[in-house]
């Protein structure tokens, strides 16, 4: 059921069945004319039922809200067109918008570009061929359509008497945004800062060093001192402490990735990811669920890209495959 945070601002918990994230925190800002829904859940029935039933408890129906997306991922954006309806506007960063506001053909071309990098890193073709159905980033993404409007860094949205300042924080996605609720000391962090789990940082075609961008964004968000942070998943916590923990996590993770490359020269990201440590219920790399392998390899790639940016490793292509070497 909706949980009031302050007057006119509610948290709407949306279950994510079968997903390690467990639950999405959507947020609803009540306004006199239009209400603003922050994030939505996957395009699947459990999320749809949870979201729309809670909107109903607040006297709202699909189409009665505009939608504000923190970023493009399908657990946040999947139901955006349904929630906004024909009259509502979907606000999203100008950088993430092309991945959502596009035709099926354009989206397929983008995924093909992403898939080529995974192929280059040695991800087995038979597993990649099944990703369209097993990866929720693809199977539960929003459908074609919807009235999108772009946001840029520093832009202010007004809703329910609140002023939300958009803060571009690239890393988790190229256009991930946080939103500072001016005058209230509240910070909507999306998936940029999570307090119980570590945000997945993957490689993106649009970002040569996504982890480097993420670390810079952590430094920027650390300048804010919210009374309360409102994350995209799980519980809240102390922002400054959590930023420092995340930076230390990635420092250690980079060192692990470097040592793995050093111990296995000539391997690609798929093989290297199998030697790294992961918090998942699987006895071996071979038993990882395919979708989780995708996220693990993507995260491994982002750390390899950052190590290359630091000049600690090099990569060359042989026989159509990436091969890494410690320097």
What is the spatial distance between Cα 255 and Cα 260, in angstroms, rounded to a whole number? 9
- State yes or no: pLDDT of 90 exceeds 90: yes
Confidence of residue 283 (pLDDT cuts 50, 70, 90): confident
Whether 94 is covered by a domain: the verdict is yes
Q: Please, which pLDDT band fits residue 84 given cuts at 50, 70 and 90?
A: very high
Using only C-alpha atoms, the chain has a radius of gyration, in whole angstroms, of 20
78 belongs to a structural domain:
yes
Q: Which domain holds residue 88?
A: 3-109+137-246
In a domain, 268, yes or no: no
Domain assignment of residue 234, yes or no: yes
Place of tokens 């990436």: 322
| Span 295-300, average pLDDT | 96
- For residue 291, tell me if it sits in a domain: no
Q: Is the pLDDT of residue 281 over 90?
A: no
**18-36 per-residue burial string, b: 16 or more CB within 10 A, e: under 16:** ebebebbbbbbbbbeeebb
Is 297 a domain residue? no
**Strand pairing of 90-93 and 65-68?**
parallel
**Is residue 327, in this structure, part of any structural domain at all?**
no
Beta bridge partners of 9: 6, 29
- Cβ-contact 43, 78 below 8 angstroms: yes
Mean pLDDT of 250-279: 97
pLDDT tens-digit readout, 8-59? 999 999 999 988 899 999 999 999 888 999 999 999 999 999 999 999 999 9
pLDDT at 316 over 80: yes
User: pLDDT by residue (tens digit) across 107-129?
Assistant: 889 889 999 999 999 999 888 88
Count of structural domains, the chain: 1
CATH number at residue 17: 3.60.15.10
Q: Is residue 49 part of a domain?
A: yes
């Amino acid at each position: 059921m909706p949980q009031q945070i302050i007057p006119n601002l509610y948290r709407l918990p949306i279950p994510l069945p079968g997903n390690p994230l467990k639950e999405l925190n959507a947020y609803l800002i009540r306004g006199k004319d239009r209400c603003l829904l922050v994030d939505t859940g996957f395009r699947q029935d459990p999320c749809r039922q949870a979201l729309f039933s809670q909107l109903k408890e607040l006297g709202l129906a699909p189409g009665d809200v505009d939608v504000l997306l923190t970023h493009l991922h399908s657990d946040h954006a999947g139901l955006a067109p349904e929630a906004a309806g024909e009259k509502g506007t979907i606000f999203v960063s100008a950088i993430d918008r092309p991945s959502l506001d596009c035709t099926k053909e354009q989206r397929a071309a983008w995924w093909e570009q992403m898939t080529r990098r995974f192929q280059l890193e040695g991800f087995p073709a038979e597993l990649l061929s099944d990703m369209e159905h097993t990866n929720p980033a693809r199977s539960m993404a929003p459908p074609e359509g919807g009235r999108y409007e772009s946001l840029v860094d520093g832009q202010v949205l007004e809703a329910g008497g609140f002023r939300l300042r958009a803060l571009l924080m690239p890393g988790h996605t190229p256009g991930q945004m946080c939103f500072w609720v001016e005058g209230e000391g509240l910070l909507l962090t999306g998936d940029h800062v999570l307090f119980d789990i570590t945000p997945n940082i993957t490689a993106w075609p649009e970002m040569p060093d996504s982890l480097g961008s993420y670390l810079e964004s952590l430094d920027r968000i650390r300048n804010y001192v919210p009374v309360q942070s409102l994350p995209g998943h799980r519980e809240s916590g102390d922002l400054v402490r959590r930023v420092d923990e995340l930076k230390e996590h990635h420092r250690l993770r980079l060192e692990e990735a470097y040592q793995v490359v050093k111990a296995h020269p000539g391997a690609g990201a798929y093989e290297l990811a199998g030697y790294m440590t992961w918090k998942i219920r699987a006895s071996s790399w071979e038993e990882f669920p395919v979708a989780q392998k995708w996220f693990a390899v993507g995260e491994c790639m982002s750390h390899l890209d950052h190590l290359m940016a630091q000049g600690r490793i090099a990569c060359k292509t042989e026989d159509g495959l990436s091969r890494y070497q410690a320097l």
